[in-house]
Amino acid sequence: MKLDIIAQIVQILKDAPEVGAIEIRRGLFGAWSSVRVSKAGHGTNADHVVVTQPGAIPQSSVPASRGMGPGESAPPAGPQYLEIKSPMVGTFYQSPEPGAQPYVKVGSRVNVGQVVCIIEAMKIMNEIESEVSGVIKEVTAGSSQPVEFGQVLFRVDPHG
């Protein structure tokens, strides 16, 4: 990261006392993979903005414990899905090798113990097995993208 960018980030922190932290992660080839801005006095579940790719539109996240504002309505109650979460920090891969079919995709049926993806950590390829059975309803991580410990990778309908 260039010194002028670091200086700009420090200036933002000085000028905005409500900003508690700015976390920047770099991806492959030096491109920014994410930027997180947290409000002062908040932990990891704080209000934040995350940009997952350079030039992407920021997406605001608000903790579920906050009340609804005027004119806002609660999201409709939907089916309750089980989540397959990342057991480690690393790089997520949907398939065993580039160009191969993914282990699972939306609509795939999974069983307990079935490999659903690979997470590369410290140059070791770790096969991640499902701890639930059902039908994949959502794949929340992108192939070759960094993932955090506890990050949701898949949502599974146990009744599907």
Delimit the domains of the chain by residue range.
3-61, 82-157
Q: Which amino acid is at 40?
A: A
Three-state DSSP state, 37: strand
Assess contact for 125 and 103: CB atoms under 8 A: no
Of 1.10.260.40, 3.60.150.10, 2.60.40.3080, 2.40.50.100, the CATH number of 82-157 is 2.40.50.100
Q: How many CB atoms neighbour CB 104 within 10 A?
A: 22
Instruction: Express each pLDDT in 45-83 by its tens digit.
Output: 434 344 444 444 334 333 333 444 444 444 445 568 999
pLDDT above 90 coverage of the chain, percent: 44
Q: Model pTM greater than 0.85? A: no
Q: Say if CB 126 and CB 120 are below 8 A apart.
A: yes
- Cα end-to-end distance, the chain, whole Å: 46
- Strand (E) positions, 8-149? 19-26, 32-39, 48-51, 59-61, 82-85, 90-93, 109-110, 115-121, 124-129, 134-139, 145-147
**DSSP helix/strand/coil, 14:** helix
Average pLDDT, the chain: 74
57 CB burial (10 A radius; 0-12, 13-18, 19+): exposed
Under 8 Å between Cβ of 96 and 118: yes
What is the tens place of the pLDDT at every residue in 3-29?
667 777 777 777 777 766 666 666 555
Q: Residue 90 in contact with residue 65, Cβ under 8 Å?
A: no
pLDDT (tens digit per residue) in 125-158: 999 999 999 999 999 999 999 999 999 999 999 9
Q: What is the model's pLDDT at position 41?
A: 57
- Residue 84's nearest CA partner among 57, 62, 103, 100 is 103
pLDDT of 96 strictly over 50? yes
